[in-house]
Amino acid sequence: MRRKTGARLALSALLLLATCGGTGIATAATATATTPGSEAPASAGLLGAMERDFGLSPSAARDRLAAERHAVGVERAARKAAGADYAGSWFDAGSDRLTVAVTRPGAAKDVRRTGAAVRLVEHSAARLDAAKARVDRIKAPSGVASWRVDPKANRVVVSVVAGHAADKDVEAFVRRARATAPVRVATVADAPRTFAAGTVGGDPYYTGNVRCSIGFSVHGGFVTAGHCGRAGASVRGWDGSAMGTFQGSSFPGDDYAYVSVGQGWWTVPVVLGWGTIPDRLVRGSTEMPVGTSICRSGSTTHWHCGQVLAKNETVNYSDGTVVHQLTKTSVCAEPGDSGGSFISGDQAQGVTSGGWGNCSGGGETWYQPVNEILARYGLTLHVT
C-alpha cells in the first residue's frame, strides 16, 4: 500500500494528538498507568500552547503542570481517607490546590492530613451519583443540554439552552428532576452536537461520507467515537486507502468505538502535535481531576487546550441522542474533530464526542473517558 511518512504516518496508525492524560482503571484490559510524576518534561510546544490558551508564561505553565500532577496523588489519598463521606473534588488553578468535599467533620480532619483543602457539604458523591442515575431515566427535550453531578455545588446541575428555560417541556423535565434529586439549573449558550463532518480535506479517517479523527492506538487498532461508524463499517485512511474495520461501536447511550487496522497500517503510542508541539508519546491513562488542564487534537482544528469542567455528565445532543458518563471541558472543537484525542501530559484521557461553539468564538466539548472504552472491548492501550 502507499506508505505514509512524517506527520502523516504518525496520524494514520496512531491517534490524533492532544496534551493531557487519561483514566486509570486497574484491569488487565487497560494500560498500566504510570504515576503522573514520571512524565517527561514539558516540551516547548506544550508550554507554548498553554501560553496561548491559558495566558501563562512558560515558568507558570511548568508550575501548573507540577501542581496538577501532585493533585492526582492527593486526590487518591483523600478519597481513601474520606471513605463513604467523600463528596467529590476539584482542582483550583488559582491556588494550585485540590479541594475535597466531605459530609462529616470527622472525615474532614482525616482528609486535611493528605494536603487537600476541605469543604463540608450535605450530599455524598454516592448519593449524588444515584440521584443523577434517576434523572438519566427521564426523557429530555431538546431544550435540555445536559446534566451532571457538580461537586462544588453539591447538586445535580441541569443545563438548559438559553431561550428555552420557559419551554413547557423543559419546565416539566426540571420539575421531574427536582422531584428525584437535589437539582440546580444552569443556562448554556447553545445545544451540543457531535463533531462528525462530511468528506473534506485534512488528515482524517473516513467511513462512508463521514470524516472523523483517530483517538488512541491500542494493540490491534485504535479507539474513536461511536457516532463515526457502526460495527462492520469499513474505514479508509487519510490517503483514501483501505485501513480497517469497526469491530465494535456504541452510540447513543455511549459514544465509543474500536477499529481494527490492517492493510499495511500499524499502531504506535503517539499522539500527533500538528506542528504546534512535538508529537507526544503515550505512557498511560491516569485520570486527571476536575479543574486541571487538558488538551485535544483533531483533524479539523488540530491542537487546543482548556480545563476539565465536570465528569459523568449526561449530554442531550441537539438531534435528540443522549450520551452518558461524558467528561466536560472548556476546549473548543469543530466538525471532523470527533473521535480525536484528549490527553494530559503523556496520559490518555478520552476521545472527542461533541460540544457546542467553535474554535473562533469558543465553546465546550465533551469526551468519552478512554479507560471505559478499553474495559468495554478488552483492549490494551499502546504505551511506551
CA angle centred on 182, ends 178 and 187, rounded to 5°: 70
**Catalytic residue, candidates 123, 227, 302, 304:** 227
Q: Describe the crossing of helices 58-82 and 44-54 by its angle, rounded to 10 degrees.
A: 80
Cross-strand pairs, 44:
none
Cβ-based neighbour number of residue 354 at 10 Å: 28
Q: Which residues contact 305 (CB under 8 A, 6 or more apart)?
A: 19, 20, 49, 50, 52, 53, 54, 293, 294, 295, 296, 331
Q: What's the per-residue H, E or C state across 169-211?
A: HHHHHHHHHHHHCCEEEEEECCCCEECCEECCCCCCEEECCEE
Between CA 196 and CA 212 the distance in angstroms is 6
338 catalytic? Reply is yes
Of 279, 222, 288, whose CA–CA distance to 33 is shortest? 288
Residues 203, 255, 337, 346: which is the catalytic one?
255
Based on the residue annotation, tell me whether 302 is a catalytic residue of this protein.
no
Catalytic residue among 146, 217, 285, 338: 338
Which residues are registered as beta bridge partners of 92?
A: 97
Q: Is the dihedral of CA 290, 293, 298, 300 positive or negative?
A: positive
Among 290, 375, 301, which Cα is nearest to 101's?
A: 290
Is 255 annotated as catalytic? yes
8 Å CB contact between 375 and 30: yes
Residues 140/101, Cβ–Cβ less than 8 Å: no
> Kind and range of the H or E element at 363?
strand 362-369
Active site residues: 227, 255, 338
